[in-house]
Amino acid sequence: MSPKLPKSTLFVAKGMTSSLQFIEEDLNKEQVSQLKMAFDAFDHEKRGCISTDMVGTILVMLGHELNDETLRQIIAEVDVDASGELEFGEFCTLAGRFLVEEDTEAMAQELREAFRLYDKEGNGYITTEVFRDILHELDDQIPPEELDLMIEEIDTDGSGTLDFDEFMAVMKGE
């Protein structure tokens, strides 16, 4: 199955928005930094662009090996003028898709496993007391009053429980 580029790539291809907007919306600073280091390593002449021939090698460095046909298709979607070169923003649009997908899936899986550990009865929720313990384990410097406020904000209906979706939203900072 070939990876699909995000919808924002289509806008970039049509010139309706910049590649940098994609970077700001979908990648964190660490990811942009990782991509910049990989990009700079192959931008030998420091022209701000790299040959599309280098993209496969860079993706392998980042842990994503693609077959030639898939790689060609992905490059064609981003390098719409067929110049054979990608600027940093275009490269981020291409490579960032792999980072965003991987990070999102990995985070969701880790949170699901963590939730299951605390949902000992398997009833689909944890109590706010259990969640308080989780927060305390993550940061034992949080004062009890602040923990109370956080719990109040999360448990808006006052049920004293959090289901997985609520837990996931809180842990992802949504």
Q: In the predicted model, what is the mean pLDDT of residues 121-130?
A: 91
| Residue 13: predicted pLDDT | 33
Q: How far apart are CA 11 and CA 15, in angstroms?
A: 6
The pTM assigned to this predicted structure is 0.46
Average pLDDT, the chain: 76
76 and 12, same structural domain? yes
Residue 72 domain-assigned? yes
85 and 24, same structural domain? yes
| Tally of structural domains, the chain | 2
| pLDDT tens string 75-123 | 998 888 889 999 988 888 888 777 765 566 777 788 888 888 889 899 9
Residue 94 domain-assigned? yes
Tell me the CATH number at 88.
Answer: 1.10.238.10
Counting every residue, how long is the chain?
174
30 and 69, same structural domain? yes
DSSP designation for 127? E
130 and 93, same structural domain? no
Structural domain harbouring 152: 119-172
| CB contact burial 42-67 (16+ within 10 A = b; e otherwise) | bbeeeeebbebebbbebbeeeebebe
| Residue 17: predicted pLDDT | 36
Quote the strand ranges of the chain, DSSP E. 49-51, 85-87, 125-127, 161-163
76 and 141, same structural domain? no
Say yes or no to pLDDT of 57 above 50: yes
Output the CA angle 101-107-109, nearest 5 degrees. 100
